[in-house]
Amino acid sequence: MDQLGIKKLAAMLKVSKSTVSRAFFENSGIKEETKQRVLSLAAELSFTPSFYGSNLRRKNSNTIAVVVPEISNNFFSQAIKGIEEILSKHNYNVLIYVTDSDGLKEADFISTINSGKVDGIIMSASAEEYNHEYISNLKRSKIPVVFFDRVYDDIEAPKVITNDYDISFDATELLIKAGCTKIVFLVVNKAISIGNSRMCGYLDAMKKHQLIQDESCVIDCSNDFQKNYSIIGNCLDNLKPDGIFCSIERLAIATYHLCIDRNINIPNDLKVISFSSLEIAPLLNPALSTITQPALEMGLKAASLLIKCIREPGINNVVTNVLESKIIERESTRQRVIK
């Protein structure tokens, strides 16, 4: 039995396949009347031209891949929301790949993607440490890539990042002005672009105020809650900080849990500030001072940029867009609190 397809439609309408095909395009020089005839039958049978037949012939897919380290995370889910919003408005399909911060998975995904599967890629990097040849290969296949937030410095591509260094410098000074002298910086991966910029901002601010000489107050954490809980616990025991700067939201959450369990008063005993996309930071106990990235806007920007790269392949679009994060001061960094 024949599948429903442009061929069968053609037979039913007694026109040629091409005529049916033309009905689905804008400027295809088809008589309005025939077009309507085709489209109405198509609607009745709820027919849409085969995606794969069409893609194969036209050599484009109207599909974009989004590759991210995690998805269940306020920053990324907001960014993806922005990406999806723009792309679906332009009739692109959105393919999602989650790497779990695993560089090998990233390489795997991107390599299989590299078969005409998508017209472009939006990604946030998972691993600085590997060879990024698989990304250069995309260039050869003319598949544009746009990075957001976590970028690879060795890859030339449009990037959407935030002012991590500056804002980290400012956040550190905010803690210092609030009276902290022993500020610890919690980081998950110093090797990755953002981890590094944030750390440098912190270090330079501390050095400026002559509060440290070395990196002994930079604490390496992980993505696992239990591990972080004990790492930060040890840090409190050993370093006895009066301020904590969390480079990632997750670390602030571990810190809060620790403070509840140990009955440490924020901000009296310890002040905390964190990068965070948490909308309910003001509802925490105490309200958390945050450095908030424009997650949604970064997604919107990255998607628009990619579309531009696809539409105007000749033009050099390799620009690094820096969007501004905002520091929002709340309870957790308040200088003195009357209880």
- The conformation of residue 338, written as its DSSP 8-state character, comes to -
Count of Cβ atoms closer than 10 Å to residue 135 Cβ: 24
**CB of residue 236 vs DNA: minimum separation in angstroms?**
57
Say if residues 155 and 132 touch (Cβ distance below 8 Å). Answer: yes
> Does position 93 bind a second copy by CB under 8 A?
yes
Q: Return the residue of 46, 72, 91, 115 that touches DNA, per CB under 7 A.
A: 115
What's the min distance (Å) between Cβ of 308 and DNA? 22
Nearest 10 degrees: CA dihedral of 164, 167, 168, 174?
-170
Residue count at the site for a second copy (CB under 8 A)?
52
Nearer of residues 58 and 339 to DNA, judged by Cβ? 58
Q: What's the min distance (Å) between Cβ of 11 and DNA? A: 10
- By three-state DSSP, how is residue 299 classified? helix
Residues 43-102 that bind DNA (CB under 7 A): 49-50, 53-54, 56-59
Binding mask 7-36 for DNA (x = CB under 7 A): x------xxxxxx-xx-xx---xxxxxxx-
Beta strands 243-246 and 218-220, pairing class: unpaired
Instruction: Please give the backbone phi and psi of residue 328, each rounded to the nearest 5 degrees, phi first.
Output: -115, 110
Stretch that binds a second copy, among 30-38, 42-50, 194-202, 314-322 (CB under 8 A): 42-50
Listed residue (179, 130, 125) closest to 151, CA to CA:
125
Report d(CA 57, CA 114) in Å as an integer.
18
Cβ 118 to a second copy shortest distance, Å = 9
Is 183 in contact with 211 (CB distance < 8 Å)? yes
Instruction: Tally the C-alpha atoms within 13 A of residue 228's C-alpha that lie toward its C-beta.
Output: 22
- Least distance between DNA and beta carbon 21 (Å): 3
**Phi, psi angles (nearest 5°) of residue 311:** -70, -35
With CB cut-offs between 5 and 8 Å by kind, which of a second copy, DNA, none does residue 94 bind? a second copy
Q: Which is nearer to a second copy, 217 or 232 (CB)?
A: 232
Q: Do 38 and 13 touch, CB atoms closer than 8 A?
A: yes
Give residues in contact with a second copy (CB under 8 A): 46-53, 55-56, 61, 63, 70-74, 77-78, 80-81, 84-85, 88, 93-98, 111-112, 114-117, 134, 137, 253, 256-257, 260, 278-280, 282-287, 296
Query: What residues make contact with DNA under the rule CB under 7 A?
Result: 3, 5-7, 14-19, 21-22, 24-25, 29-35, 49-50, 53-54, 56-59, 115
